[in-house]
Structure 1
């Protein structure tokens, strides 16, 4: 498949050569990168206690992608007009590809290791920058072709077998557009901002863009009348001419249904075909020069700023809120150290923030997704129904999603080697480090988030829900402790990312999550008795205190150690 896709990109060789890319070097660089990837141990082979995972996990991933593709393919029948259905399909498809690129492949694009190996050779900026994008494109294309199987089947039934090869071309077109548009934004950012702020801006852009994509994907179908799309004609709206999914869908309209295609549709189809070529030329000719030098300056600036942090921190140590909170809630010296380490690293590590911060936006998105449907004809009617209901219980318990996202990532880091200090010190109870870690993430993330949700809840439903907020907050802390006990088997930022077990503890996580939702259902049944809710807060706080006491007593045998 890799060789086939490499040959597929040979059609761009003349254009790349004219833009200054050494196509022979480009081919050799990408070929070596793909060979190295094939020799790299798969993440699923790293699981220690699940030897069968190596044979079943790839089939599981294949099945999930096929099911996802089938569900997305159903969007093709959303309208009586094929162009509308294909526009909706490729909108969802490009959203999924963009989200995959942002979450999984940004580190590949911004990796500086090539500078130490390839740049000493006579390789120019354009060639190396395009090789990164081509390397990413091949992997995303393989996933895209797998997901498009469902769409191919639907198109075969709707437009006949003749439309299937054309649909493959449209899928390639949509994938290339997604990759190139995201990369253009990244390269423009590198050209526009100072090196010191580039990585921070990219990190927050990743977070914000993934949130926007997630919100559009889940909320747009709930906030609009889908039935109105059945008779809509996109060519009657000027703003549709600016949407790449419309360009891609227009190609089907022109070649399969030429009787319905006009001049505007033909121009849109031409725009869809030429957009990937123009985008690739723009990257190679305009944005790629200076790309690698900018990466090196950014990396060195990042290292210098990191090195300067301790000096700045020592000056403000007396007034540090971190030290004050650590001394307040973690009086034991070992627990205090675990609190401070977790707080400071969680606030600085970009990879951790990229994985965790979107969870803060997912909660309100999920809440609107579950509540703003079928409650009225307008948004005001839906809001009125929401205000007179008890949906705030769902909002409060959804906040545990944030705690879960933090705990699932708190033990992993790409720079885990310095964690040897945990094992070098004479610590007999590592559970104290873990309890300090848990208190840090609860105060840094969970408590402020619950306060914000509580203020929003009181503004909408009134002060009578304060007791429900307090009870749900401590129930969430108990849920977090259960997750920490059974799911977090490593000290803060002490495990390599490759050792992360994706499905080994899925059953345990499902049981714990079901338990907290069962507690939430019981809370929902009892919420009409205000006094009972106030009384229940006392035993819930007591249970949390007892669980924290035993959490501190964990030994080294209960923690998964790493080789340093």
Structure 2
């Protein structure tokens, strides 16, 4: 079996593992097999095109390692913050916040399946291998990839920091990044551990899915709060310490720089520095103590329970008949709705973006609030920021072709259909009604509370434009049968189209603004959009 360089480096620390009661030779052999098997796994960030080329070329290299260049490119974005000056708390908090955002999202999308893997019980627990060794192999498996991932992001910025701020800055950064890695890994495991304790079966799998979505959601909120903890006054960054800033974890890792490099020994910096060192270490030892219980509760994922099927109400059936023409389209509408509701992989990859879409308009409104106050917002046209939510439409429509049960797509060819237009129409309408409309209604309630009832016509217009825009995206993007491809092929094959499709959103927003300048302009725009929607939905959706 081919040896791996990472394991040769890990051999130097074999004595440390043995002190903790880990059978290092057995752990090493397990890791060797896992790392070789990982060559078959394509990371979420990798493209389908790259995957197909890999198969054609017979390349057996690790796809994750070959994708690190993209993470390295992301890391270049942190360089301006490192060379900006010597306000280390601001600079390094932003840097650590950015790194934590990338690492945590990658952890959720690519490595949760490793932490929650229950196949080890059938394969390894039947062998004379200590459970602590199996758990250590699982943890090191994830840590190795997190090391590569984080290293690719921070390598170039830290080299720049070495020349800009000196060797102490460089060494301190390495220590803090290692602590951050341990903290991310342990906290993620502890969250799953807590959920495993109280839930089981199918309900547990749903809860874990929603926690993963919640983690993605909270990461974005936290990053926004971090940036707004600082203020720019006369081109200088100013921080006013507040009690709630103790919950902004990236600031923990920014404080030691102020303490050591700038000699600021205020209680604020001392407390945050202590948290950056002590909390990851304590969390690590807590995890080691709870590993046996974690592995025991992990077996709950193997249990299955059948959900009771809910009967459709007459009101729901009438609504479906009203928006869908023909029984075929109605059937596909119901099918797509069930897939979006029950497909866990789909929810994990799509639902976080829906949460981000709710936040985006208020990020722009928050900036206006700081400039002019609430009265200026409520009387202005800040409601047009709702157009920022439309950026999720092309990406979600792209995701509609993927499914964890994609092998069942043969059924489409077996159906007695002359063409697939009812399938595409039903799926798109299910997306708009089941996913986009609830999001839009939440924003409508919030915007009416802020701007008053005067914006109701504008909000109706935005939804009509969203429906029109969905058809435009469908026409431009590659037409693939819904839920017929594997999630492993999610990638960047059409990323340039998605980027180009952002341009019409700005055009729609500008036209909307211009319509508000004329009497009844919004109502005329609504009529135009109604006619355009009727035409496109009837004439332009074809297989």
Q: Smaller-chain TM-score range?
A: 0.7 to 0.9
What is residue 350 of structure 2 aligned with on the other side? Answer: 356
Tell me, yes or no, if the aligned pair for 1:373 and 1:382 is still in contact at 8 Å.
no
Cα distance 1:463–1:440, how it changes in 2: closer, same or farther (>3 A)? same
- Residue 382 of structure 1 pairs with residue 386 of structure 2: no
What is residue 503 of structure 2 aligned with on the other side? Answer: 514
Deviation at 1:212, TM superposition (A): 1.5
Deviation at 1:232, TM superposition (A): 5.3
Provide, for residues 70-128 of structure 1, a one-character-per-residue CA deviation record: whole Å limited to 9, x for no partner.
Answer: 33243346774535643443344334322321233212222333333333333344333
Where do residues 385-424 of structure 1 align in structure 2 (5 Å cutoff)? 385-395=376-386, 397-424=387-414
SS at match of 2:125: coil
Distance in 1 separating the partners of 2:529 and 2:249: 53
Where do residues 143-158 of structure 1 align in structure 2 (5 Å cutoff)? 143-158=149-164
Q: Which residue of 475, 486, 507 corresponds with 2:465?
A: 475
TM-score, with length taken from structure 1: 0.82
Distance in 2 separating the partners of 1:145 and 1:376: 37
Deviation at 1:521, TM superposition (A): 1.0
Distance in 2 separating the partners of 1:262 and 1:462: 46
Tell me, yes or no, if the aligned pair for 2:395 and 2:498 is still in contact at 8 Å.
no
Distance in 2 separating the partners of 1:200 and 1:293: 19
CA RMSD of aligned residues (A): 3.7
- Residue 486 of structure 1 pairs with residue 486 of structure 2: no
Tell me, yes or no, if the aligned pair for 2:48 and 2:489 is still in contact at 8 Å.
yes
- Residue 459 of structure 1 pairs with residue 449 of structure 2: yes
Tell me, yes or no, if the aligned pair for 1:431 and 1:552 is still in contact at 8 Å.
yes
Distance in 2 separating the partners of 1:448 and 1:83: 40
Tell me, yes or no, if the aligned pair for 2:258 and 2:269 is still in contact at 8 Å.
yes
Tell me, yes or no, if the aligned pair for 1:74 and 1:154 is still in contact at 8 Å.
no
What is residue 340 of structure 1 aligned with on the other side? Answer: 334
Provide, for residues 126-161 of structure 1, a one-character-per-residue CA deviation record: whole Å limited to 9, x for no partner.
Answer: 333332222122112212112113431442244314
Deviation at 1:365, TM superposition (A): 2.5
- Residue 163 of structure 1 pairs with residue 169 of structure 2: yes
Cα distance 1:525–1:180, how it changes in 2: closer, same or farther (>3 A)? same
Cα distance 1:219–1:33, how it changes in 2: closer, same or farther (>3 A)? same
SS at match of 1:114: helix
What is residue 181 of structure 1 aligned with on the other side? Answer: 187
Provide, for residues 401-441 of structure 1, a one-character-per-residue CA deviation record: whole Å limited to 9, x for no partner.
Answer: 34334312221112212222112222221121111111111
Provide, for residues 430-479 of structure 1, a one-character-per-residue CA deviation record: whole Å limited to 9, x for no partner.
Answer: 12111111111111122222222223222222222222222221111111
Distance in 1 separating the partners of 2:452 and 2:274: 56
Provide, for residues 148-203 of structure 1, a one-character-per-residue CA deviation record: whole Å limited to 9, x for no partner.
Answer: 13431442244314532442333222222222222222223222434453222222
What is residue 197 of structure 1 aligned with on the other side? Answer: 203
Q: Which moved more, 1:338-347 or 1:99-108?
A: 99-108
Tell me, yes or no, if the aligned pair for 1:417 and 1:494 is still in contact at 8 Å.
yes
Q: How many residues align?
A: 534
Q: Any gaps of 5 or more consecutive residues in structure 2?
A: none
Deviation at 1:39, TM superposition (A): 4.9
- Residue 279 of structure 1 pairs with residue 269 of structure 2: no
SS at match of 1:372: helix
Distance in 2 separating the partners of 1:429 and 1:266: 68
